[in-house]
Structures are given as structure tokens and as C-alpha cells.
A and B are shown apart, each in its own frame.
Chain A
């Protein structure tokens, strides 16, 4: 198949990642764990969820909301990168997902920033 026929990049990098998910061990920060990558990610997700629930009960104050939302975003990112393979799959997939996501986040921030019932318009 010619290069022009490939609408989406398909590199050897993806094959390396394929081998990474099939391997019986996982290496994180130089340490090797005797579980597959998917299981290692599952343990991290579980630990983050426990931390999240405990923090929600313990912490009170301005830091609570950004901290908990930050952990939730980290968990979501782990699922998208490793379980949905966005870390290794074609960048076209990432683009298709991230562009509407950014638009949605901007819209939500805009909606939150606009105070309700603040219209100065008075009908005559």
C-alpha cells in the first residue's frame, strides 16, 4: 500500500506499545512489577479513588474542589491514555477527541463565569 493511501498514521511505535500491553510485567520509574500494564493502571486508579474519597471527607476549604477535580482528571487521563490506547494510537484519534473536549471545557468555564440573573436590561 502506498503512503498516500494511509489516511491515518500507522507506525512501528504502535507495535512496540502492543508488545508493552501484552508483557507479563510492567516497568514504572525503573521499577519492575510482576503484573501486566493494564493491572498496574487498575491499581493506580483504585488507589487514586480511595485517596479522593478520603480527601473529600477530611479536607475542607478552597483547595478541596481543584484538588479533587485534579485527581478525577488524572484518573480519566490514565483510562484514556492506557485503556483507550490514545498514548500509542494515531494522533488523528487524539485530535478527534481533544478538540471537542477543549471546546466543551471552555464553554463550561464560560457558563460558570457568567453570573445568573445579572442582566441589566429592563423592558420598557
Chain B
């Protein structure tokens, strides 16, 4: 094979790789679009409840107190920091520092786990205040159902995200990624940041407004 032909094959392989990467990313965006619709239903239902039952939501906020808001604010910072760690991990790998990328991704997974532990703690605190799933047992006329449905569904996404992150780390340790091959890391990043965006909206709508 002549040198010119080999060069042509390399260029073709690179173009194919770029095309596959772009199409895979597009598929991920379509998945995110479907997730957007699902979360919009949860958020929409809560928003309708919130604007038609201002007194109930106000009473819940009073019961939670500033301490309750502080825990959730801490959780918000954990997710924001995990998103930052995620993109810094991607950046490290793009700068040909895979080991650094693995460290950043490890921080991402760890912060996701701490988020879930704190969410469990928050749920246990709410249960003590009789904010429950059952309409009959809930002290705030069904607030519990409107609250737990979106936050638990989001928490489940964080759980799945942690598992995906661990898988990305495992593959990175096996040498699957390099500065020219980061598409799987990018795809996981899209998922993780989407989960972060959902929390940003839930945090404001449920706890602050």
C-alpha cells in the first residue's frame, strides 16, 4: 500500500469517527428531549398544585425551617460541583491526561453518592413531620405525593448517573479513552448535566418559591 493510500485511509477513518460521534450525540440529545417531556409533566403537576394551594406550600416551608433549606442548598452545591468535576474530567482527558480525568470523574461519582445520602436524610426528616406519600396520612393535604414524585424520580436519575459514571471510570482505567476518543465521556456528561439542570429547577420551584 502506498503512503498516499494509507494517508487517505487514515483521513477516511477519522471522518467516519467524527460522523459517528456527532450522530451518537444527536441520539443522546433526542433521549434528553424525551426526558425533558417526562420531567416537565412532574414539574407541571407540582406547579399547578403550588399555585392553587399557596397556603399548604407556605405551611410546609414553615415546617421545614431554614435548617431544612440549608440541607437542600448544600445538596444543590453538591450537584453543581459534581457537574463542574464532570466537565473538568472531560477537559483533562481532552488534554491527554486520562489519570487526571479519572480522578475528576471519581469526584463526580462521590458527590452523587453524597447527594443521595443527604436526600435520604431529608426524606427521613420530612417523614417525622408527617409529610408522607399517602393522601390520607399526609399532614399537608397531599403535598407529599406532589413532592416525592419529582424528587424521587430525580434521585433515581442521580443513582443511575452514579452507576454510569463508575462504568465510564472502569473503561477509562482500561484505556478506552484518549484525547481523540472522548465521545462516551461526553455522552455521560450530557446525561449528568441534564440531571443537574432538572435539580436547579426543582430546587427553586419546590424549596424557594
Contacts and interface: CB of A to CB of B under 8 A. Distances in A.
Given A8-B22, A83-B83, A76 B200 contact: yes
Sorting the interface of chain A by its residue count into under 10, 10 to 19, 20 to 34 or 35 or more gives 35 or more
B47 A96 contact: no
A111 interface: yes
Contact of B40 (A5, A52, A83, A104): A104
Contact of B23 (A7, A64, A99, A108): A7
A15 to B, nearest CB: 11
Interface stretch (B29-37, B115-123, B127-135): B29-37
B19 A96 contact: no
Nearest to A92: B26
A53 B69 contact: yes
A96 B51 contact: no
A10 B88 contact: no
A68 B66 CA distance: 17
Given A52-B204, A52-B208, 11 more contacts: A10-B22, A38-B88, A42-B83, A53-B69, A69-B209, A79-B196, A83-B189, A96-B32, A103-B37, A107-B40, A108-B40
25 contacts: A1-B12, A5-B19, A7-B23, A8-B26, A38-B91, A42-B81, A45-B80, A46-B77, A46-B80, A49-B76, A49-B77, A53-B73, A64-B209, A79-B193, A79-B200, A83-B189, A84-B190, A93-B25, A97-B33, A99-B33, A100-B33, A100-B34, A100-B40, A111-B48, A112-B48
Interface of A: 1, 5-8, 10, 18, 21-22, 36, 38-39, 41-42, 45-46, 49, 52-53, 56-57, 64-65, 68-69, 71-73, 75-76, 79-80, 83-84, 89-90, 92-93, 96-97, 99-101, 103-105, 107-108, 111-112, 116
